[in-house]
Structure 1
Amino acid sequence: MGLIYALGAYLSWGIVVPVHFRLLDSVPAGSILAHRIVWSSVLVVGLLAILRRRVRNPFPLRRRHLLLVVSAGLIAVNWLLYLVAVQSGHMLDASLGYFINPLMSVALGALVLGERLRPVQAVAVGLAAAGVILAVVLAGHLPWLSLTLAASFSLYGLVRKVVGVDAMVGFAAETFLLLPAAGLYLVLAAPAVVNGDPVRLGLLLLTGATTALPLIWFAAAAQRLTLSTLGLMQYLAPSCLLGLSVLVYGERLEPHRLVLFVLIWLALALYAADSFRAARRTKEPPEPAAAGPDRPGMRSF
């Protein structure tokens, strides 16, 4: 079941969510974001009521829980940028951002949390940085959208790690924090987007499901699969997004982007291989110590 949950989450993020948002092309990104927050809040209330016995209670609240305000802001920025990328025909930029994201998270872990990088991991991060620099030289400009998507989600992951709250509770807190602004925007500032169209209304209502369900499936997969397996599967979503952008929506893979993708894929392959090898090494039972020549049966230290 863990594999099924993971496939459901990553295929949703890579195929279902972008196609869903492209069907809402005529709706401004800000309105979609506000609807996404409102209907996610409604859905998460129901889920908390159903799963209340499985959710870890965050009380008593700690000072670090105030960081959920920061994580809410970061995920809202990430959602909005993703919507803009998909609706404006820049799925390639979104795909690249989510390819860069794991490597940026590794770098943040080393710089902020003091996590030590293994030599191969350091080479992988260096390759990714070299790819960005080379792409800038070839194109003459920074891939701002990709880098901002990667940075916002990497920082979001860092904050959520520091907060250390249950995934469902954290998601609920973030949506509830964003709910007043989303509600006010829909009531006071958002243009009329439904206009009696039941299909469009249904698509807007479904934004709650396509936001919350993949996150729940991901959490379920994380409980059942090894971290190395889950880590390797995370590249399925941006790979699907890349194929969708080029094969279905006709985006052009320009030479500087191709160079950058090749270097990112090489960096990810090195990182994944190193993570897989490290995971296997930790699972191997320690070899029995050889008996010493002078004291048979005793371990040598």
Structure 2
Amino acid sequence: MNIDRKGILYAVAAYGIWGVFPLYWKLLAHVNSLEVLVSRVIWSFVFTLLFIIVIKQRKLIIEDIKSLWKNKKLFLSLLAASFVISCNWFLYIYAVNNNHVVDASLGYYINPLITVVFGMIFFKEKLSKMQISAVVVAFIGVLSLSIGYGEVPWLALLIALSFASYSALKKQTVLNATRGLVIETMLMLPVAVVYYIYIMSTKKISFLHVNWQTDLVLVIGGIVTAIPLVLFAKGAKLLPQYIIGFIQYMTPTIVLILGIVLYHEPFTKTELISFMFIWLSILIFTFSTIFESRKRIQIQETANADI
């Protein structure tokens, strides 16, 4: 098997797992979303740290932490990223367990386009005319949904904005994906532990107070979080960015199908029209990205041939 095929398998596996996440979080619908979040933070930290120890990268993570501590700007960026991804996790869990799976799907469809806009604003990245057109078409889709609902789809937008913010903050760091997750969850760990102590004192805790199945699902949530991140990291190293960009739409597509078919969430003409605009914008954006990527490759090959 060649490297590209392995990369595609890794990426498809990662985005496929993220796509079926609603099936997992629905098992915890009886648990408060905030408790699910802090449990996810704690157990993600535990299992990723164990994984780092098993693959003998303990010294590397210590070096990462020392490096972060010396570079205050980098440390603050990662701290902000930790907070933002925690918010994203909470919003997604809340959406799934409060019958807003379709909204979660919309959020992750919009996210790549907002990421592109953030790149233009914060990193002075230039967009082609087609990419700008894609963003405009997506905006029309969100606007049509807002008019149809009579209100802005805040949950979907917050999911998209939080993950796009996370991507922008992470762009300033150069940490290994798995070690980065250990450090990010470690930064949020004190808050998670304090909250767990608080809900234990108020007797509103579900962990160790409902049944062993609930406890098991909460604990394994840490492994479920870590596995697709590791797979994604492997795939991203082996594939061009435009292929990763295309495969990533697997996640919201699977989430949308689950929301409509399995959880019977409403999908009226209003949602259909809005999603059609979003899908059109994705097609424009994807083809423009592929075109720009191939154009760069041709220019590079021509330059190399002239040398």
TM-score (normalised: structure 2): 0.89
Cα shift readout 1:29-59 (whole Å, capped 9, x = no counterpart): 0111111011001011112213345968535
Stretches (4+) displaced over 6 A: none
- Write the letter of the residue equivalent to 2:9: I
Aligned to 2:3: none
Aligned to 1:210: 224
Q: Distance in 1 between matches of 2:57 and 2:185?
A: 21
Give yes or no for contact 1:24–1:200 (8 Å, CA) kept in 2. Answer: yes
Q: Distance in 1 between matches of 2:57 and 2:132?
A: 42
Give yes or no for contact 1:37–1:175 (8 Å, CA) kept in 2. Answer: yes
| Structure 2 residue corresponding to 1:63, chosen from 72, 80, 92 | 72
- Write the letter of the residue equivalent to 1:60: S
| Structure 2 residue corresponding to 1:201, chosen from 215, 219, 226 | 215
Flag the structure with larger Rg: 1
Q: Secondary structure at the match of 1:12?
A: helix
Aligned to 1:141: 151
Aligned to 1:295: none
| Structure 1 residue corresponding to 2:139, chosen from 118, 123, 129 | 129
Which residues in structure 2 correspond to 1:101-116 (within 5 Å)? 101-116=111-126
| Structure 2 residue corresponding to 1:158, chosen from 168, 180, 183 | 168
Q: Distance in 1 between matches of 2:248 and 2:90?
A: 21
Q: Distance in 1 between matches of 2:155 and 2:198?
A: 29
Give yes or no for contact 2:45–2:181 (8 Å, CA) kept in 1. Answer: no
Aligned to 2:44: 40
Aligned to 1:250: 264
Mind listing any 5+ residue stretches in structure 2 that lack a counterpart? Answer: 1-5
Cα shift readout 1:168-209 (whole Å, capped 9, x = no counterpart): 232111100111111121122252313251211111111001
Q: Secondary structure at the match of 1:206?
A: helix
Residue 172 (1) aligns with residue 182 (2): yes
CA displacement at 1:167 relative to structure 2:
2.2
CA RMSD of the aligned region, Å? 1.8
- Write the letter of the residue equivalent to 1:44: T
| Structure 2 residue corresponding to 1:192, chosen from 183, 205, 229 | 205
Give yes or no for contact 1:64–1:163 (8 Å, CA) kept in 2. Answer: no
Give yes or no for contact 1:64–1:162 (8 Å, CA) kept in 2. Answer: no
Aligned to 2:103: 93
Cα shift readout 1:263-301 (whole Å, capped 9, x = no counterpart): 010000011001111222233321867xxxxxxxxx9xx
- Write the letter of the residue equivalent to 1:95: S
Residue 12 (1) aligns with residue 22 (2): no
Q: Distance in 1 between matches of 2:150 and 2:56?
A: 52
Q: Distance in 2 between matches of 1:269 and 1:231?
A: 11
Mind listing any 5+ residue stretches in structure 1 that lack a counterpart? Answer: 290-298
Give yes or no for contact 1:22–1:87 (8 Å, CA) kept in 2. Answer: yes
Q: Distance in 2 between matches of 1:63 and 1:122?
A: 35
Q: Distance in 2 between matches of 1:189 and 1:169?
A: 29
CA displacement at 1:247 relative to structure 2:
0.6
Q: Distance in 2 between matches of 1:226 and 1:67?
A: 26
Cα shift readout 1:118-163 (whole Å, capped 9, x = no counterpart): 1100100111111112222222100000000000000010001023
Aligned to 1:21: 25
- Write the letter of the residue equivalent to 2:53: A
The worse-fitting range, judged by mean Cα deviation, of 200-209 and 134-143 is 134-143
TM-score (normalised: structure 1): 0.91
Q: Distance in 2 between matches of 1:253 and 1:9?
A: 27
- Write the letter of the residue equivalent to 1:43: F
Q: Percent identity between the aligned chains? A: 31
Q: Secondary structure at the match of 2:218?
A: helix
- Write the letter of the residue equivalent to 2:41: I
- Write the letter of the residue equivalent to 1:63: K
Q: Secondary structure at the match of 2:28?
A: coil
Q: Distance in 2 between matches of 1:60 and 1:201?
A: 36
- Write the letter of the residue equivalent to 1:257: E
